[in-house]
Chain A
Amino acid sequence: MALPVKNRLRVLRAERDWSQSDLAVRLGVSRQTVNAVETGKYDPSLPLAFRIAREFSLRIEEIFDPEDSPALITNHLEVQK
């Protein structure tokens, strides 16, 4: 089951006045990747998510948030058990 994930990347980037290209260079990825992650078309891998968190000095869960979530995550974890 795929969890839809939303993120605050665009807001965080705007707060720092970084363009997508700036962030892309900082992360070592293409601008297209930053755009795809921002718009939710692509969910980053765990290493990239950590790089993003590190770049913004935040925790991953402060940037990425599964939609509808606490209940959904709990259910998902219970199914995993």
Chain B
Amino acid sequence: MIVADTSLSSSPRASGLGCARMQRGEIVAVGAFVVTCAAAAAVRKLYGVEALRWCLPAVVLSGVLYLRTISRIVSRLDELQQRIWLEAVGFGALGIFLTGIIYPMFEKSGVLGPLQPLGMSALLVVFVIAGYLQARWRFR
């Protein structure tokens, strides 16, 4: 039988919380993405779509940094938090998939207008938050 090795007992860790706190570099990366997107939207409004091509590399670069930051934060979460987020993202993906199937029916019947990309993004956020809350509630 395997007996636990007491000599390896870990002492309390100062930063051992399951909830990953963002480090300065990560906050900068997220902020850079938000600022870049806002700047691109402003450029589009002020100078038209043609001017956007000068902003695109910055948007793509900051987007990649943003994704890397998010994946790093998720990898630092403890296993239950990772599961909760996984379920939330799955719920969001399923929600968007079903919306993609159902929405055109409403659109064709004239009940709703065309779904804008911003509306789709907002729906995704709503679905992910709903999935997160639901999973959190289940493991509370």
- Chain A residues in the interface with B (C-beta under 8 A): 22, 24-33, 35-36, 41-42, 44-45, 48, 50-51, 53-60
Contact = CB atoms under 8 A, between A and B. Distances in A.
Specify which of A36, A58, A60 lies most central, judged by the most chain B CB atoms within 10 Å of its CB. Answer: A36
A33 B80 contact: yes
Interface stretch (B8-16, B39-47, B94-102): B8-16
A56 B18 CA distance: 20
B80 A26 contact: no
- Interface residues on chain B, size class: 20 to 34
| A interface, over-half SS | helix
Interface string B7-42: 011111100111100000000000000000000000
A55 B10 CA distance: 7
A28 B18 contact: yes
Contacts of B83: 42
B140 interface: yes
